[in-house]
Amino acid sequence: MRIITSPAEMTAWAREQQSDGHSLALVPTMGYFHKGHLALMLMAADKVDKVVVSLFVNPIQFGPGEDLDQYPVDPARDEELARSQGVSVLFMPTREDMYPPGFQTVVSVPELSRHLCGADRPGHFNGVTTVVCKLLHIVRPDCAVFGEKDFQQLAVIRRMVADLNMDVEILAHPIVREPDGLAMSSRNSYLGSEERQQALCLSRSIAHARSLYATGVRDTTRLAEEVRDIIKKVTGAHIQYISFFNRTTLESVNQTDENTQMALAVTIGGRVRLIDNGRLVEAG
């Protein structure tokens, strides 16, 4: 596995591989790999000849007071894990290379970004789309792989790629969960043992909403109330949002159907913000 830090070197390597007839996939990450990241790498390896994994904690997608300075990092461990998955290149650019002095260009997908996490984190998705656009431009992959845990992010990136006529296929990997149901996330490392148990209220809420949907409940007001009751019983859990929405437009719905997605954001212990989502129709 090759380690590349320079965007120019990364582009040169990618062009060389493609001129030799190799197909490329990009897996964008912020590092601190877990099994969810490794699943994305394996999915990418099944699709193409060479896999590039980017590792960059993107400062412009963090808002004031968020956890940029505390975000977990362990590049040596990440390098070992990426190598174990047969990754061809681990691309680790610096902040200075990604955002040189005077940088002012921002990519925005305003409509899809205003919902859900975008309402609580203004500017977050501008940071996401800007860095992903840059990474796609640098690597020029045939496909890029993202996880469905960040469902809104996936929708926003797909919209950006379509709107800008970018010649790349966006692939989605299902949420990877711990055996007890907790969606895997780098931020899970913030949780103490008690908080770890409290965090299970997210996946329990989704399972309960699915079970209600399977029995014929379609009214989202009732579904939200039932979910809210589950979370309110958990000490230290504070709801940021519970939403039922159309999977394509992300617009809220009053009545659920086969195209309805549920998503929620919950703060655990007053400091760890976790998100989760699921398609209600899966219960049926």
22 noted as active-site residue: no
CA distance linking residue 143 with residue 11, whole number of Å: 15
CA distance linking residue 16 with residue 211, whole number of Å: 51
CA distance linking residue 224 with residue 221, whole number of Å: 5
CA distance linking residue 203 with residue 180, whole number of Å: 9
Instruction: Decide: 176 and 199 in contact? Cβ < 8 Å.
Output: no
CA distance linking residue 8 with residue 138, whole number of Å: 8
Question: Which residues in the chain belong to E strands, given as ranges?
Answer: 2-4, 24-29, 50-55, 89-91, 143-147, 169-173, 237-246, 260-268, 272-279
CA distance linking residue 239 with residue 66, whole number of Å: 17
Q: What is the largest CA-CA distance in the chain?
A: 58
Could you say which of 22, 34, 37, 208 is catalytic?
37
CA distance linking residue 277 with residue 183, whole number of Å: 9
The Cβ-side half-sphere exposure at 203, using a 13 Å CA radius, reads 16
User: What tokens does 216 get?
Assistant: 């014929």
Cite the active site residues: 37
